[in-house]
Structure 1
Amino acid sequence: MPVLLSACAVQSTPPPLGQHALAKQLSPILQPSQDQGVRWGIVIATRDGKILFSRNASGRFIPASNTKLFTTAAAMAELAELDHAAAAHPTTLLLARRQHGAPDLILRGSGDAVLSDDAACKTDCLKTLADAVSAKGLRHIHAIIADDRLFADERWGDGWSWNNLPTQWGTAVSALTLNDNTAELTVQPGTHPGDHPTAHWSAPEEGLSLLNQALTVPDGKPGLSLEKRPGDNRVVLTGTLPLTAPVQTLKIGLDDPALSTARHFRSLLRDAGIRVQTVQVRHRLTKTTSDTPTPDASILATLPAPDLKDDIRHLLKVSQNLHAELILRRLALVHGNGSVEDGLAERSTVLTALGLSAAGIALYDGSGMSPYNRVTPRSVIQLLRLADQQPWGKDWRDDLPLAAQDGTLAHRFIGTPVADHLHAKTGTLAATHSLSGYLRTTRGQTLLIAIFANDIPDDLPHPTRIMDDLVTAVAKAE
């Protein structure tokens, strides 16, 4: 017998928002900051591409970490190829005999972003390789040779700001990466106000010196910072630390990760009673590959290939710049030889094959640290739409930070209708903020959003709050 359904029942999705009504709600939110010089680029669209609101949709904006959307989308599209390359180039320890004296150990990097020597390490552990040396019965090593020639020696991206290079966010990129290529400084208050805080490196083998100019103060909030010039091993600790403050841990980026890894490996071997005379590095300054094994070198041990899909999720959630740059260089191995130029070309080729127009897009790195990067809000919406149509689209969307729950959105949108209903990538550089992703409205409609704010004046309070108010208004719009 026929079943009668009401008009309400057959309407599976609510009607789209009206453009005029949405503009009336959003324009007053934007106008005050726009009057102060902020340049906004915004597109709000439905999943089928209908634009509900736009502001400078074709304008070119610095995307900051929204660049990671392009890098990881290309990686998801070529994940099988990347996994194959990762399996073909594992982190490897080779034993190289010499004509006279103790042998060398060659530690060949694979671009593994999660290689660690932390005591709690479970997988991708440097100690696994050290244990292999002990098991071989070796007691004396001439040199540990750190070989990161899988990738070209391009440690920083084009245009990266010099003051970012010594930070954990701008640390050097290498095929031989360890502990996110950072060194940790532990700092605790001095005994009395006016004393220098007590500070020590967690890994003294890094070879960093410390000039402690910080002071212990009676009260207040911790305000410590580290300063370091690229190429200089001297680090300066400045700022203040209250007398009752807990122990602080500060991180600083490294200039030569391969050399650092060799030093850590030497420390592990020494702990096992194995003498090491020296450490050396092998870099590749050109695009020409040069990874032929040293004559008479044999493989002593390898580490399993990392889980790239899991790393993509991690780097999107917390906006990990180093890992994004390593993914870009992994893309360079698919049809190239590990240079940034090849990675940029491969990313562009993959995204073009998906259907992305190159109009208005100019990207120079994998992470978004470069202020040279430019995208349009329209191009980001197109990327979000194309990704949404791919077999991997849902996984990629879920990898983005979730409002009020995790990653870089963990502390935003709390107590608003957006909480739990926005998967989006954040972005921050000097005078720049961005937010792009998928929003589920209170009416049950999924919208695509791309929001960019460039030229933000220093005296504008809480620029991200304006973005958050904007997204919240969209989520609640009738």
Structure 2
Amino acid sequence: MISLGLLLGMLGLCGVSQAATNETNESSANGEHWSIALRSIHDAHLLLNQEATHSQLPASTAKLLTTAYIFQVLGAEARQHTLVLGTVEPTGKVTGPLIVLGDGDPDISSRHFPFVEKTERGDPMLPLRSIAKSLYARGVRYIPDGIVVDAGKFPEDHHIPGWTLDDQRFWYGAPVSALMFNDAMVSVDLLPARRAGRFATAKITPNPLNTIINQVETVDQQGEERPVQLIQSGNQYQLIGAIRANTGGFSALLAQPDPPYFAALALRQAAEEEGIVVGPTISVDRRPSSDAWRARYPGTTILAERVSPSLADELTVANKVSENTHVEVLLRDADLWRGGDGSRSSAMQGLHNWLIQSGILNNDSSQLMDGSGLSRLDRLSANDLVSALTYSYQQSWGKIWRDSLPVAAVDGTLRHRFRDLPKGSIRAKTGTLRNAVTLAGLLRNKSGEDYAFAIMVDHFQGSEAEARARVDQVVRDIILGKSQLSSASDSSTHRRRFGFGLPKKPLSAARSA
């Protein structure tokens, strides 16, 4: 293995004096910590090892491990089938309720496939209007007993350990359910009223049957702002919170509190627009069942079916734009396929077992509480991430999985980064939390050599943008092979350029817990 000091010198990262080491130990004690690994895709030895086995916050780079596992279990061509069941009389009347059977499809949305550069969407109601047209074509005209949603394929998750209450307000922390419509989110744009004490003006999309009631208040400059969020109140939703007058307003993608119920509301609206009369009753059955649908709902037939994009397309979206709930749903689908019960604990155990058996995870301090990396309890090392990347070259699904990663200066979460480098030099998964910035993937240096890399910094000093810039500069120097050497005593240049030193030992276990 090339020594760390020699390689850093070759890459222009400068030598490190004892003073620099002392300074970094102080920085680590104050919170900031780096884990860096660089490995040739053809060699198991680390070429760059900066605390590479130290486990810390991975943020969304955890999706690398989870999506690899999902590919391994389900295969690139797997699809989910959302079924609409019922019994139709010659008169067009459905006997009993219309049954919507959730199958763990995270992409019941108007998202365009295949993914190209960035997310493109149409009218969010399109997928349910398509189902409604199918129902009408099958002769359905009247559903007096309303709609029942069967969302019991796997247990719903509303409170994943390590997800904050603030996360759960927004689209990226929405509940994990076997039936989700429009990514389990609602787009909200608010303008404050001219005077305090009045409701803000709200644009809410989608808002099926106008079920969401706007109750966001306008307060004066001394008034207390309150978080804007969507809550469920009986059979209705309320948009609550408070924003100040004379501000530019508020825009966000908020989480649906009850995705299956919201999907049923949207289907009812779509059916009524198609000319189908639907009774007012909507219910959600969350009871787990291992029975096939024919045994659960005897006498019914398939009246409409929504088939998902291929798993390859779904995971491309999940990795390119970092869709948390998509990964969580597909992880539970994989768990059911392997024989688990689809619960979070079962899904995480299956993932953990595979990571151990495949040799990707061999660090006792590494752990995952979720599949998406949103949990603040997750811990991975740079070596864990690099191991997953190199492991993929031995797998049949490896190329499709690697192609799902964002390409620098081209698409996804790397679309606006590394524009000064040749396109295609970097294909990597990003990760960002309030106190962690990570980047892990594949790079090609100026000599055409390919490497797997991971760079992780958590509890960083300064702003998120500054931390990301420091991570990106390390990547640039590896790609460009800078060779400017400096004496071991000239540590100030290193500190000015990168702001981190080379600690001799990882932080204490208490710091990582």
What range describes the TM-score normalised by the shorter chain of this pair?
A: 0.7 to 0.9
Deviations 1:27-81 (A, max 9, x none): 679988873631111112222123222222221111111110011111222343x
Tell me by how many angstroms 1:113 deviates: 1.5
- Residue 165 of structure 1 deviates from its aligned partner by 0.5
**For residue 370 of structure 2, what is the aligned residue in structure 1?**
365
The alpha-carbon deviation at position 272 of structure 1 amounts to 2.2
Counterpart of 1:328 (choices 328, 331, 344) is: 331
Contact 1:68 1:324 in 2 (8 A): yes
Work out the CA distance in 2 between the residues paired with 1:349 and 1:137.
Answer: 47
Question: 1:38-437 maps to which residues of 2 (within 5 A)?
Answer: 38-47=32-41, 48-80=43-75, 83=77, 86=79, 90-95=81-86, 103-116=96-109, 120=122, 125-135=127-137, 136-187=139-190, 198-205=201-208, 207-213=211-217, 227-228=228-229, 233-236=237-240, 239=243, 250-273=252-275, 274-284=277-287, 292-335=295-338, 336-360=340-364, 361-415=366-420, 417=421, 419-437=423-441
Going from structure 1 to structure 2, the CA distance change for 1:400 and 1:300 (only over 3 Å counts) comes to same
Distance 2:464 2:232 in 1: 35
Cα separation, 1, equivalents of 2:197 and 2:238: 23
Q: 1:315, 1:321 within 8 Å by CA — same for their partners in 2?
A: yes
Q: Distance in 2 between matches of 1:260 and 1:278?
A: 13
- For residue 7 of structure 1, what is the aligned residue in structure 2? none
Question: Equivalents in 2 of 1:475, 1:240: separation in Å?
Answer: 48
C-alpha distance in structure 1 between counterparts of 2:419 and 2:24, whole Å: 23
Residue 204 to residue 76, structure 1, CA distance change in 2 (3 Å): closer
- Is the partner of 1:414 in helix, strand or coil? coil
Tell me what 1:6 maps to: none
Q: CA shift at 1:271, angstroms?
A: 1.3
> CA separation in 1, counterparts of 2:246 and 2:394?
53
**Maintained 8 Å contact 1:183/1:252:** yes
What is residue 5 of structure 1 aligned with on the other side? Answer: none
Report the more deviating stretch, 256-265 or 233-242.
233-242
For 1:225 and 1:436, locate their aligned partners in 2 and report how far apart those are by CA, in whole Å: 37
Q: Is the Cα–Cα contact under 8 Å of residues 107 and 308 in structure 2 kept in the other structure?
A: no
1:97 positional shift: 7.8
State which drifts further: 18-27 or 262-271. 18-27
Does the CA contact (< 8 Å) of 2:63 and 2:372 recur in 1?
yes
Secondary structure of the residue aligned to 1:333 is: helix
> Within 1, Cα distance between the matches of 2:170 and 2:353?
32
Q: CA deviation at 1:92?
A: 0.6
Contact 2:94 2:142 (C-alpha < 8 Å) held by counterparts: no
Amino acid in the other structure paired with 1:375: L
**Residue type matched to 1:338 in 2?**
G
Could you tell me the TM-score, scaled by structure 2's length?
0.77
Alpha-carbon distance in 2 for matches of 1:369, 1:145:
32
* Structure 1 range deviating more: 431-440 or 353-362: 353-362
Instruction: Please list the CA deviations of residues 453-474 of structure 1 after superposition, one character each: whole Å capped at 9, or x if unmatched.
Output: 1122466762111101111121
Q: Retained in 1: the 8 A contact 2:153–2:289?
A: no
Encode CA deviations 1:154-209: one digit per residue, 9 max, x unaligned: 24422211111010110111111110001122346878999976322223337333
CA RMSD of aligned residues (A): 3.6
Note the C-alpha offset of 1:257: 0.4
Is structure 2 residue 13 aligned with structure 1 residue 26? yes
Contact 2:230–2:240 (CA<8 Å) still a contact in 1? no
| Offset of residue 353 of structure 1 | 4.3
User: Could you list the runs of 5+ residues in structure 2 that have no partner in the other structure?
Assistant: 112-120, 484-513
Sort the Cα spacing of 1:412 and 1:460 in 2 relative to 1 into closer, same or farther, 3 A.
closer
Distance in 2, Cα, partners of 1:418 & 1:18: 28
Farther off after superposition, 373-382 or 22-31: 22-31
Among 461, 464, 469, the alignment partner of 1:465 is 469
| Structure 1 match to 2:487 | none
Relative to structure 1, the CA distance from residue 102 to residue 33 in structure 2 (aligned partners, 3 Å threshold; closer, same or farther) is farther
Among candidates 433, 448, 454, match of residue 450 of structure 1: 454
Name the CA distance, whole Å, in 2 between partners of 1:457 and 1:229.
34
Contact 1:124/1:306 (8 A) holds in 2? no
Q: Deviations over 1:239-292 (max 9, x none)?
A: 57989x8x98531001110000000011111212323221110113x6877964
Distance 1:69 1:117 in 2: 26
Q: Is the 8 A contact 2:104 2:329 kept in 1?
A: yes
Task: Give unpaired runs (5+ residues) of structure 1.
Answer: 1-15, 218-223
**Secondary structure at the counterpart of residue 107 of structure 2:** coil
Q: Note the C-alpha offset of 1:370.
A: 1.0
Partner of 1:462: helix, strand, or coil?
helix
Higher relative CO (Cα under 8 Å, sequence separation at least 6) belongs to: 2
| Residue 331 to residue 145, structure 1, CA distance change in 2 (3 Å) | same
Q: Larger deviation: 160-169 or 328-337? A: 328-337
